[in-house]
Chains A and B, each alone.
Chain A
């Protein structure tokens, strides 16, 4: 095998954090450039649509795609990359699960536009101008791309071979995945390239987990000080650890803050949110209906806590509000 393998990076509705995590290879980035040819990276390299269209199938071994999908242009690009590349990896929470932008599936497009261009306290817009997909300004014709009503995960648009979880995927996870791909040492297709266990099992606080939990109410970090060593759930803080896959190094925990679930659900789980709901209820102590209701009432924002990163990937995918145009 004389030629270096070729890889491609592409981004959809993304924040750029997934690009930064690659640069966080620091000195090792230069090793990556030695080992592979990067055939596409729209924000860094000069390759354009016609170059990709000219690739022979299989010429570029793997496409790493980050970002959620909600523009028709993004759909075109990811479908083209799927056609050309034998391997497609969903890179990061947004491509894997929808990510935080996926929370827009709890809102209607109309509300988003009205809040931004009409009701914002700093916007001065008496003529109620809204950005248009197509408009004429003094005889000049201009257009903007079309947004979908719904944010989608990558695998809701194309078939995905592997998932690199995390917001963003930790740099060492990325390095391990790239190495595995280049060596051809991969688990079965459809796998998430991270350990097959939940975060609690690798958490630095796990030894402080009680044998039996008996929570009567949830606390909020806004109005209390978390202990730096005890299990967050045992302290009464909502922590997504039990319903989240391990592999991130528990950096948030080391920062003395609870997990918010960016690695997605553990293996075998269909829905991260309902899994977490089930766990929290199990940890409660209420034994009558009133106490159970009181307990439930102390959890602020179940949807946003359970589906912080995974709303588009959930069973319900979006709330009723998102259906309004």
Chain B
């Protein structure tokens, strides 16, 4: 259920070599994108244990983004293939828990794709806004942006 006041809280696991650098590029290029995503830098998308994703959701995130190098470009060769194989399994698990698949997203974002990163965050934020809050167990993450005094 969409809520006009609802500001989605999204956790983003971004790989250091590609996606996080791409996100930095969006910043230095001054490309506008919503502040709802909290980035967490990991060395490789393959480092993202599904436990992190589920913990984020359990602790109050409304959505989780995992971003890594394009297949074939992984700095550690195999890491993103593991991510690729984890993703559909995790979605099936989320189906069984009754958590909408659209709340967890896997994207390949290279170091030079600042605009792609911004577009993904923008689209994903709106998608989560339309889905509404998850607030699993009644928990919600603190707002991404402080309220004006």
Interface residues of A (CB under 8 A from B): 106, 269-271, 273-275, 277-278, 280-282, 284, 286-289, 292-293, 295-297, 299, 301-303, 306, 315-317, 319-321
Interface of A is mostly: helix
Q: Which of B58, B84, B86, B91 contacts A316 (CB 8 A)?
A: B58
Contact B84 A289 (CB under 8 A): yes
- A270 and B85 in contact (CB under 8 A), knowing A288-B71, A316-B57, A316-B97? no
- Interface residues in B82-140 by Cβ distance below 8 A to A read 82, 84-93, 96-99, 136-137
Cβ of B31 under 8 Å from chain A: no
Cβ of B40 under 8 Å from chain A: no
Among B4-12, B20-28, B48-56, the one that faces the other chain is B48-56
Nearest B residue to A289, CB-CB: B84
Interface of B is mostly: helix
Contact B85 A281 (CB under 8 A): yes
Interface residues of B (CB under 8 A from A): 49-51, 53-55, 57-58, 71, 81-82, 84-93, 96-99, 136-137
For residue A278, which residues in chain B have a CB less than 8 angstroms away from its CB?
49-51, 86
Contact B88 A316 (CB under 8 A): no
For residue B81, which residues in chain A have a CB less than 8 angstroms away from its CB?
286-287
Q: Which of B55, B82, B90, B92 contacts A315 (CB 8 A)?
A: B55
Contact B88 A106 (CB under 8 A): no
Closest beta carbon of chain A to B132's beta carbon, Å:
13
Contact B50 A287 (CB under 8 A): no
Nearest B residue to A311, CB-CB: B97
Contact A274 B54 (CB under 8 A): yes
Q: Which of B85, B90, B92 contacts A284 (CB 8 A)?
A: B85
Bound complex: CA of A293 vs CA of B97, how far in Å? 19
Bound complex: CA of A316 vs CA of B56, how far in Å? 10
For residue A319, which residues in chain B have a CB less than 8 angstroms away from its CB?
96-98
For residue A317, which residues in chain B have a CB less than 8 angstroms away from its CB?
58, 137
Closest beta carbon of chain B to A80's beta carbon, Å:
27
Bound complex: CA of A303 vs CA of B54, how far in Å? 13
- A299 and B92 in contact (CB under 8 A), knowing A274-B54, A319-B97, A320-B98? yes
- A302 and B55 in contact (CB under 8 A), knowing A289-B84, A292-B84, A320-B97? no
A-B contact list, 6 entries, CB within 8 Å: A274-B53, A278-B86, A302-B92, A306-B93, A316-B57, A319-B98
For residue B86, which residues in chain A have a CB less than 8 angstroms away from its CB?
277-278, 281
Closest beta carbon of chain B to A291's beta carbon, Å:
9
Bound complex: CA of A279 vs CA of B137, how far in Å? 27
Nearest B residue to A265, CB-CB: B51
